[in-house]
């Protein structure tokens, strides 16, 4: 039995991709990028070794601390650090706590 072609009366819905982040989070990230750029301009050298050029922002705190949600943009929790020092802070939590780099 041959099927007949049924013409659609409406166009199929166009699928749009899902957003990767919410509108609120996108706004926070935009603000973070601007603040980060300004902070690194004001603090050009690493705050740990004091010699290397700062490339990263370290957020003092771990887990539920300052890095979560709206606390991301609180500059008082930031440190300008170079990549090797940032890795050292993240990999040696007890040392970083004793130095005051983690809360």
- 59-102 tens-digit pLDDT: 986 555 555 666 778 888 899 999 999 999 999 999 999 999 98
| pLDDT for 5 | 65
| pLDDT for 19 | 82
| pLDDT for 74 | 85
On whether residue 62 sits in a domain, the answer given is yes
Alpha helices (H) along 19-82: 23-42
Where residue 72 sits, what CATH number does that domain have? 3.30.60
Comparing C-alpha atoms, which of 100, 22, 25, 30 is closest to residue 58? 100
Structural domain that includes position 57 = 43-99
On whether residue 48 sits in a domain, the answer given is yes
On whether residue 29 sits in a domain, the answer given is no
Burial class (CB in 10 A: 0-12, 13-18, 19+), 94: exposed
pTM metric for this prediction? 0.72
Total domain count, the chain: 1
CA 76, CA 28: separation in Å to the nearest integer?
16
| pLDDT for 45 | 97
| pLDDT for 88 | 95
Q: How far apart are the first and last CA of the chain?
A: 74
Task: Over range 41-53, report the average pLDDT.
Answer: 96
On whether residue 25 sits in a domain, the answer given is no
pLDDT in tens, 9-26: 677 778 888 888 889 889
pLDDT at 54 over 90: yes
| pLDDT for 96 | 92
CA 24, CA 37: separation in Å to the nearest integer?
20
On whether residue 38 sits in a domain, the answer given is no
As given in the structure block, the two tokens for residue 1 are 């039995």
Taken as a whole, the chain contains a residue count of: 103
């Amino acid at each position: 039995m041959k099927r007949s072609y049924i013409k659609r009366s409406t166009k199929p819905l166009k699928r749009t991709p899902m957003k990767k982040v919410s509108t609120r989070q996108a706004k926070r990230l935009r603000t973070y990028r601007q603040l980060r750029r300004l902070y690194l301009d004001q603090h050009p050298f690493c705050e740990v070794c004091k010699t290397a050029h700062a490339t990263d922002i370290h957020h003092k705190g771990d887990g539920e601390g300052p890095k979560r949600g709206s606390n991301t943009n609180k500059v008082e929790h930031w440190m300008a650090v170079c990549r090797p020092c940032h890795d050292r802070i993240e990999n040696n939590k007890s040392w970083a706590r004793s130095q005051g780099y983690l809360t």
